[in-house]
């Protein structure tokens, strides 16, 4: 008789449904891992002027997510090193005061201030799906390490 009671408890519908909900919540809380980003040199879509190499991770603690960013960006003969990530007002797809260069790679989009792309002192990268933040890249002197 004890065996039947234990067996009846195991197959109760409420227990099975509760276990399924707990498993789904656990999987959802962990989130999906971001796909692995290649770290070697890569040319960006939009022309052959922009390339990047290396990958760094920026941890967005408020949403418990690590976002991959290029380690270094090259535009023509200019090289840029990652400097910082900054939030911007509005959280939309276009950071205020920046122009779209129409260069992109995977989830990355390259932005600049007004003027020609080549020779900019600072460039910016946003990550699609991670709105409200922009990564800043500062130009490095020739021979200085780029961070890639």
Q: What is the pLDDT of residues 16-70, one digit of tens each?
A: 445 444 444 444 444 444 456 666 788 999 988 999 989 988 876 666 668 889 9
100 and 63 in a single domain? The answer is yes
- Are 112 and 86 part of one and the same domain? yes
Q: What's the domain count of the chain? A: 2
Do 60 and 4 lie in one domain? The reply is: no
Our measurement of the distance from residue 57's CA atom to the centroid of its chain's CA atoms, rounded to an integer in Å, reads 8
pTM above 0.75, yes or no: no
**Domain co-membership, 128 together with 58:** yes
Q: What is the average pLDDT value for the chain, to the nearest integer?
A: 78
16 found inside a domain: yes
Quick check: 5 pLDDT over 50?
no
Residues 2 and 48 in one domain: no
14 shares its domain with 66: no
Q: Which domain holds residue 23?
A: 1-32
Convert 135-144 to b/e letters by CB count within 10 Å (16 or more is b): bbbebeeeee
Q: Tell whether 27 is covered by a domain.
A: yes
Q: Do 3 and 23 share a domain, yes or no?
A: yes
Cα–Cα distance for residue pair 68/148, rounded to 1 Å: 13
How many whole angstroms separate alpha carbon 135 and alpha carbon 104?
14
Pairing mode, if any, of strands 122-127 and 133-140? antiparallel
The answer to whether residues 7 and 63 belong to one domain is no
* pLDDT surpasses 80 at 137: yes
């Amino acid at each position: 008789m004890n065996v039947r009671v234990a067996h009846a408890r195991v197959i109760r519908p409420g227990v099975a449904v509760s276990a399924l909900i707990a498993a789904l919540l656990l999987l959802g809380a962990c989130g999906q891992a971001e796909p692995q980003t290649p770290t070697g040199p890569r040319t960006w879509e939009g022309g052959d002027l922009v390339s990047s190499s290396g990958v760094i991770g920026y941890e967005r603690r408020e949403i418990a997510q690590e976002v991959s960013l290029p380690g270094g960006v090259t535009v023509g003969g200019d090289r840029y090193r990652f400097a910082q990530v900054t939030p911007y007002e509005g959280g939309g797809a276009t950071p205020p005061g920046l122009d779209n260069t129409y260069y992109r790679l995977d989830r990355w989009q390259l932005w600049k201030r007004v003027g020609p792309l080549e020779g900019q002192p600072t460039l910016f990268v946003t990550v699609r799906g991670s709105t409200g933040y922009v990564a800043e890249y500062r130009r490095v002197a020739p021979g200085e390490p780029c961070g890639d």
